[in-house]
Amino acid sequence: MAYQLAILADIHGNLAALEAALEDIKRHKPDRLLVGGDLVLNGPRPSETVQLVRQLEVEGALVVQGNTDIAVADFDYAAAFPWMEEVPQGHRAAAEWANEQLSDEELDYLRRLPAERRLWQADEMVLLCHASPGSQTNGLPADLDPAVTVERVTRTDARVVACGHTHVADVRELGRKLIVNPGSCGYAFDGEPSACWALLTLAQGEDEEPTAQLFRPTYDAQAVAEEVSGRGLTGDVYRAATIRTGRLVR
């Protein structure tokens, strides 16, 4: 019998997108939900997003911490953005604003989230991480050098690597590994402003391999973009344009 996992990541404080994704997920009735981090930065509803994710966890979801969750919870920008020589003021302003919107309990929740979770179904292991096995910041973009991709995915014995971070939806086989990146639920970069998520199917039969499908339910991205631009933070005009278009604008 098939065992199905819904996977979403990179919500980025976009409550409307999260709710749209969850509504779509309910129609498919998966056995469990995986949430791949980056819960709050940039979007207009960080507290409500954390509250909903925590409820999902109570109901059985597995949740991991993303790099921007570190930025919001503790302002550790070197850990959150190690590829940047200097973190832009806009990043800092968004992290500080999100931090102010969260209660002490919600901030502590972000701090306590693990970097990785593992799940077994029959003889298949699924690794949930934010960027790649062993890293919250080194992602698995489709155009990454193949040798580097292999080096990163072989840091785990998991058959399936469920990850995010790139904000670009991607499902691909790499040898015996299946990489499932659902794209960004609330802050997409791949050209479509939708609430992306993925459905992973395991254990269909003894000789069948894991498979994954990508889904893109719509939501009112324009309304969320207007809410973001109304804050007036440094960089909000670019964040609003990114949410509205589904492409990174900076």
Give pLDDT tens digits for 123-159: 899 999 999 999 999 999 999 999 999 999 999 999 9
CATH class of 3-245: alpha beta
The answer to whether 20 and 218 are in contact (CB under 8 A) is: yes
Question: Has residue 40 got a pLDDT over 70?
Answer: yes
What pLDDT was estimated at residue 203? 73
Confidence class of residue 206 from pLDDT cuts 50, 70 and 90? low
Question: Has residue 53 got a pLDDT over 70?
Answer: yes
**Both tokens of residue 53?**
């994710």
Question: Has residue 204 got a pLDDT over 70?
Answer: no
Confidence class of residue 99 from pLDDT cuts 50, 70 and 90? very high
Mean pLDDT of 40-45: 98
The CA-based angle 130-134-136, given to 5 degrees, is 35
Q: What residue spans define the domains of the chain?
A: 3-245
What pLDDT was estimated at residue 122? 82
Among 61, 15, 25, 52, smallest CA distance to 243 is for 15
What pLDDT was estimated at residue 205? 63
pLDDT in tens, 101-120: 999 999 999 999 999 999 99
**Measured between alpha carbons, how far is 226 from 215 in angstroms, rounded to an integer?**
25
